[in-house]
């Protein structure tokens, strides 16, 4: 039984190795090595000591030289072997993780450049009422696309982007403005729209100020501003992947109770 398993494993390794290096220069190298090994076996059988010694030297030093000469091809072959076996393939990134990374990438770019942005991510309650006011996109979320949408003086930069089911549903959408009189006048229309949406839905909304580059978020009536990029990502993860434990907490600033 052990012998059968041993043979099966060797056959499996040879199959995937051959599949990985097929069509590369390594295959030519292996054919050459095979011919030298076959020649040495024949020389040993026939008792040709000098030929056997010579072939052995060629194989010994030739393998070292081949590793140096064919280093790029060997690396490529090993990469293909890894992909062929699927043994070390990474776990596919979830759509929520893609959304988090795209949002963080966009904010990281826009904040220091003071590119104003307003993005609402739909929760369990529909935002169709506000989606209907925007320009349909139905596009996959990416940091580059979010950045390009909010570049000043472009057709889509006004209004809000609304993300539904991890896709950009619309841009240029209108959100309800808050009527809360406690909101400081330092916060403009984007902030008031984000707060207004948080008062009537469970959407997670983030804002980049075009005056200061400051990062703010709203969710379920809670408004937090002047966040660092790390704090922004932590808040986003709390909502999109709540099963993941928070690595770092921070002092929560609640609507009407923020500090100057």
Query: What does the pLDDT look like over 153-210, one tens digit per residue?
Result: 998 989 999 999 999 999 999 999 998 888 888 899 999 999 999 999 999 999 999 9
Q: How many whole angstroms separate alpha carbon 215 and alpha carbon 191?
A: 10
Number of domains into which the chain is organized: 2
Question: Tens digits of per-residue pLDDT, 111-158?
Answer: 999 999 999 999 999 999 999 999 999 999 999 999 999 999 998 989
The answer for 138, left when phi > 0, alpha when psi is -120 to 50, beta otherwise, is left
In this prediction, residues 39-52 reach a mean pLDDT of: 84
Q: How many whole angstroms separate alpha carbon 194 and alpha carbon 249?
A: 23
Q: Are residues 221 and 102 in the same domain?
A: yes
Please check whether residue 252 lies inside any domain of the structure. Answer: no
Q: Are residues 40 and 150 in the same domain?
A: no
Q: How many whole angstroms separate alpha carbon 148 and alpha carbon 50?
A: 72
Please check whether residue 119 lies inside any domain of the structure. Answer: yes
Label residue 258 by pLDDT band (50, 70, 90).
very low
Residue 255 confidence (pLDDT): 43
Question: Tens digits of per-residue pLDDT, 62-94?
Answer: 777 776 776 666 666 666 556 554 544 455 678
Q: Are residues 185 and 132 in the same domain?
A: yes
Please check whether residue 125 lies inside any domain of the structure. Answer: yes
Q: Are residues 115 and 154 in the same domain?
A: yes
Q: What φ, ψ does residue 187 adopt, rounded to 5°?
A: -95, 130
Q: How many whole angstroms separate alpha carbon 33 and alpha carbon 39?
A: 10
Q: Which residues pair with 219 in a beta bridge?
A: 204, 222
Please check whether residue 193 lies inside any domain of the structure. Answer: yes
Task: Tell me the residue range of the domain where 211 lies.
Answer: 95-240
pTM of the complete model beyond 0.75: no
Question: Tens digits of per-residue pLDDT, 209-254?
Answer: 999 999 999 999 999 999 999 999 999 999 998 876 554 433 333 3
Q: Are residues 194 and 72 in the same domain?
A: no
Please check whether residue 257 lies inside any domain of the structure. Answer: no
Task: Report the CATH number at residue 132.
Answer: 3.40.1700.10
Q: Are residues 35 and 118 in the same domain?
A: no
Contact of 204 with 121, CB cutoff 8 Å = yes
Q: Are residues 68 and 157 in the same domain?
A: no
Label residue 27 by pLDDT band (50, 70, 90).
low
């Amino acid at each position: 039984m052990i012998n059968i398993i041993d043979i099966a494993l060797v056959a499996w390794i040879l199959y995937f190795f051959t599949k990985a290096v097929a069509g590369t220069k390594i295959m030519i190298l292996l054919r050459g090595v095979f011919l030298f090994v076959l020649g040495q076996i024949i020389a040993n059988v026939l008792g040709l000591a000098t030929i056997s010694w010579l072939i052995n030297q060629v194989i010994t030093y030739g393998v070292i030289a081949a590793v140096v000469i064919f280093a790029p091809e060997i690396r490529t072959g090993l990469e293909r072997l890894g992909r062929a076996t699927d043994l070390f393939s990474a776990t596919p990134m979830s759509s929520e993780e893609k959304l988090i990374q795209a949002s963080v990438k966009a904010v990281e770019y826009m904040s220091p450049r003071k590119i104003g942005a307003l993005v609402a991510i739909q929760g369990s309650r529909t935002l169709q009422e506000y989606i209907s006011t925007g320009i349909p996109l139905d596009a996959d979320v990416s940091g580059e696309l979010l950045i390009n949408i909010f570049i000043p003086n472009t057709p889509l930069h006004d209004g809000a982007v609304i993300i539904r089911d991890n896709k950009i549903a619309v841009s240029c959408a209108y959100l309800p403005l808050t009527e809360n009189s406690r909101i400081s006048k330092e916060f403009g229309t984007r902030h008031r729209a984000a707060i207004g949406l948080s008062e009537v839905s469970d959407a997670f909304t983030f804002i980049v100020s075009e005056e200061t580059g400051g990062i703010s978020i709203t969710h379920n009536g809670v408004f937090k501003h002047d966040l660092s990029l790390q704090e922004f990502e932590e808040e986003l993860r709390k909502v999109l992947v709540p099963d993941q434990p928070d690595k770092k907490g921070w002092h929560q600033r609640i609507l009407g109770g923020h500090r100057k």
